[in-house]
Amino acid sequence: MRRTIRRATVAMAATALVLTGCGRGGDDDTASAPGVTEEPCPDAVDKDKGCIYLGVISDLTGAFKGVGVPLTAGGKAFWDKVNADGGIGDYEVNVTEYVKDNKYDPETHSQVYSEIKGDILAVAQSLGTVATETMLRDADAKDLLVIPATLGSNWYAEDRVLEIGTSYCAEAMNAVDYGVDELDADSIAAVHFPGDYGDDAMVGARIAAEERGAKFTDIQTLPGADGQAAAVKAVLDSKADVVVIATGPLEVAAVVGGAVKAGFKGTFVGSIPTWNAALLESPAGPALEASYLWATSFPLWDTDSAGFEAMREANGSETPNAYFALGWSGGYVLKAALEKAIEDGDLTREGLLKAATSLTEVDSEGMLPEGSGNYAGDANAAAVRTTQLAAPKSGTSTGVTESVDFFTGPTAKGHDFSEACYLQK
């Protein structure tokens, strides 16, 4: 079962702590917890409220800065609105004081985490699976709650991580099932980075191909737009009908553009980190519009819901960005956990963890995938499995438009997600 040991630890910690009240003051020691102060936040809306400090460790200058920068901006916009609407209980939330750039490097991630770990209640964004796992092994992080900016299937079994969305693994399974059922595919390939992200998608594609009786070709490639000639050749040699691709946007442009130019007739389906609307303006734009679909479990920018309306208003005149929307979406999960901890009168790391692992659903005002927010269930029960496919299209808000509505293929529906897919490489 998921999280059994962690729940026992939380229960013991909660028993040891005798905290009363659900806000500031009183007889509790909430304000002495890391990242919680009686003093107002810098630039507070209400100077009479205390401050909850959340850390952000993202890629602001590295290979995935195109993801990390708008994610961070979207998260800030979410909490700005929460504060403008009255905060949470007797507190406002700050996500700007402790923002760190990990440059998409695990060692840098660990270093910058050590610089802020004593000053934050939780981590509102942690980009990179391996980097986040390393951080969580720190002795001082035993009760630290984290929102990951990564969709690794490993997070389902980790108490302290509030995962959102469908994993790379399940997304790839759905891509293959779609190919088999709708495109009559009998040959599948996966082009992917080595490591947690790429291997998670590759293993998902491989499992689905095996389940559906399709040939499978594993094509590993390294980062770099100029180094994809071998991957392009491998795609052509595979004669695949569907190619799952789990790289960055630059590699997608090189692989898809190169393969299509050489006569490839199949369909590419990319994991979430593969898309950037700027690709439409690149030389690969026509090839992407002809042969690429973006797999995502999150509703698209123009979705009609209260959450999306508020998010679009906060974005203002800035160019719409799907990762800005994702950064906003993740805020709902941590907000629900904070509200529960305050309601329980235990706004400490231990109390926040206990509150989070009691959640069975989260109201995201239509921004999170169906089934999100069950952090009390075991790993398999908690796994979100839905996917939609979006097609590149110039003139749309974020460069894509819905091609296939949300669905769950038979492979993801029946798979047991108790173990991380990328560990099954």
pLDDT band at 225 (very low <50, low <70, confident <90, very high): very high
Q: In angstroms, what CA-CA distances link 42 with 95, 135, 276, 419? A: 11, 27, 33, 42
Out of 3.40.50.2300, 3.50.50.60, 3.40.50.300, 3.30.1330.60, the CATH code matching 4-150+302-368 is 3.40.50.2300
Strands 145-148, 99-101: pairing kind: unpaired
Q: Global pTM? A: 0.88
Question: What does the domain layout of the chain look like in residue ranges?
Answer: 4-150+302-368, 168-297+385-424
Alpha-carbon span 244 to 171, nearest angstrom? 10
* Residue 27: pLDDT over 80: no
pLDDT band at 32 (very low <50, low <70, confident <90, very high): low
* Residue 20: pLDDT over 60: no
- Percent of the chain residues past pLDDT 70, beyond the cut: 92
**b vs e for 192-211, b when ≥16 Cβ sit within 10 Å of the residue's Cβ?**
bbeebbbbbbbbbbbbbbeb
> What class has domain 168-297+385-424?
alpha beta
Chain length of the chain? 425
* Residue 194: pLDDT over 80: yes
What is the mean predicted confidence (pLDDT) over 147-164?
92
- Can you say whether the dihedral through the CA atoms of 77, 405, 424, 193 is positive or negative? negative
Q: In angstroms, what CA-CA distances link 137 with 106, 150, 160? A: 13, 17, 11
Please give the mean pLDDT across all residues of the chain. 91
pLDDT band at 9 (very low <50, low <70, confident <90, very high): very low
4-150+302-368 matches 168-297+385-424 in fold: yes
pLDDT at site 267: 98
